[in-house]
């Protein structure tokens, strides 16, 4: 019989690797769909946020997506270069940056409308299964954040 310590060092036993591998699988599944829109997955997340509620500051985007300025500054500059968003300092606080959709950025929403359905389909999850799994992952993320 194998010792406990050995067991726990086996790759297959690790939830983290399963999350890591599932993340890769999702990225691969999204790539052809988002490629048609000219977006990467993190860029798509920012666009989702803006379609939901236009005009957040960079700090708010970072809090929502758990990304810092080192990631977001170049990402948002790319979206701006593509003509999808506009970046402007707040007049009342010049430190902060407001990100707003351009007409082109708003228009992209129609083209992206069928992406979630396609991914839902590929995942093979029923809506209620997806919902439960999402809840468990959110709880997991919160527990890890709490443990610091």
Query: Does residue number 125 form part of the binding site for a second copy (CB under 8 A)?
Result: yes
Query: Does residue number 86 form part of the binding site for DNA (CB under 7 A)?
Result: no
- For the chain, first and last CA: distance in Å? 35
Q: Kindly tell me which residue out of 66, 81, 94, 103 binds a second copy, with binding defined by CB under 8 A.
A: 66
Query: Residue 20 corresponds to which tokens in the numbers above?
Result: 């890591």
Q: Kindly tell me which residue out of 13, 18, 22, 31 binds DNA, with binding defined by CB under 7 A.
A: 31
- Nearest residue to 112 via CA among 47, 24, 26, 29: 47
| Beta strands 93-101 and 85-90, pairing class | antiparallel
Which of 3-11, 38-46, 111-119, 139-147 is the region at the interface with DNA (rule: CB under 7 A)?
A: 38-46
SS3 content of the chain, % helix, strand, coil (to 5): 70, 10, 20
Query: Does residue number 16 form part of the binding site for a second copy (CB under 8 A)?
Result: yes
Least distance to DNA, CB of residue 122, Å:
15
Residue 103 binds: one of a second copy, DNA, none (C-beta under 5 to 8 A by kind): none
Residue with tokens 């236009």: 54
């Amino acid at each position: 019989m194998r010792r406990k310590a050995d067991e726990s060092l086996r790759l297959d036993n690790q939830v983290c690797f399963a999350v890591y591998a599932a993340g890769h699988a999702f990225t691969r599944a999204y790539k052809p769909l988002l490629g048609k829109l000219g977006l990467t997955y993190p860029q798509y997340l920012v666009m989702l946020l803006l379609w939901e509620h236009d005009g957040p500051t960079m700090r708010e985007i970072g809090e929502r997506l758990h990304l810092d300025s080192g990631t977001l500054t170049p990402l948002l500059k790319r979206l701006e270069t593509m003509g999808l968003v506009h970046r402007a300092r707040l007049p009342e606080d010049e430190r902060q940056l407001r990100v707003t959709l351009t007409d082109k950025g708003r228009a992209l929403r129609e083209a992206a409308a069928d992406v979630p359905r396609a991914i839902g389909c590929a995942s093979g999850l029923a809506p209620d299964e997806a919902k439960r799994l999402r809840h468990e992952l959110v709880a997991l993320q919160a527990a890890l954040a709490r443990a610091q």
